[in-house]
Amino acid sequence: MNSKILSFTFMGVLLLAACSSEVKYIDPSTSKDYTSIGLDYHDIENAANKSIQSLLQSNYVKNLATQKNPKVLAISDVINDTMQNFSTEELTRKITRDMRNSGKFVLTMAMAGSGGSTDKMIKEAREARNDAEFNQYSVQEKGNLVAPELSLSGKIVQRNTKIGSKQRVDYFFLLTLTDIKTGLVVWDDAINIIKLGSNKSVAW
């Protein structure tokens, strides 16, 4: 048989296989039924919710109630020290969103570590100062960026332990809020998530 015919036949089989595979939407409220031993949406959501509740109930935040201006927050490095590939910004943006909603914090996008991201347009727009094509009266003036007062950093750690035919996986979400001026820790917390599954389960 002609090699081209074989090639087209093989591609057709692959196409039919792809079309016949079943794909469906899962409601987030019931998706726990399809959980794995690895980290998933519910784990990130759970860790973020527990962390923000711990922060908002801390003495540091309670003392901020007497201050009129919200604290400027920057997301620093958040290290993913697990076997799984996911963006730590899934966690930090959930936490900082709730922090902003409390009215006691605002988030800067002018600078960030590995746990967040910056808005590149902030810097790019300021480069227009040297471009004669731009109306210089419309360009942002120097000295308007607001420096952060607080830094949110953290680390996510994974520990696997075999227990007979089972495998226990411990995840630790370690978060710290630091006063940038003094370098002092104003809040920190550790959220633990523990899962148990078969030794055949792979936590990645």
What is the CATH number for 41?
3.40.50
Domain that holds residue 95: 37-125+146-198
DSSP 117: -
pLDDT in the model for residue 131: 93
H-helix or E-strand spanning residue 92:
helix 89-101
Dihedral angle computed from the Cα positions of residues 95, 96, 99 and 101, in that order, rounded to the nearest 10 degrees: -110
Please give the tally of structural domains in the chain. Answer: 1
Smallest CA-to-CA distance from 189 within 77, 60, 59, 52 is with 52
> Which residues of the chain fall below pLDDT 50?
4-6, 8, 13
* Gap between the Cα atoms of 179 and 115, Å rounded: 17
* Chain Cα centroid distance, residue 35: 19
pLDDT in the model for residue 6: 44
pLDDT in the model for residue 139: 95
DSSP 39-70: --HHHHHHHHHHHHHHHHTSHHHHHGGG-SSP
pLDDT in the model for residue 28: 67
Identify whether 130 is part of a domain.
no
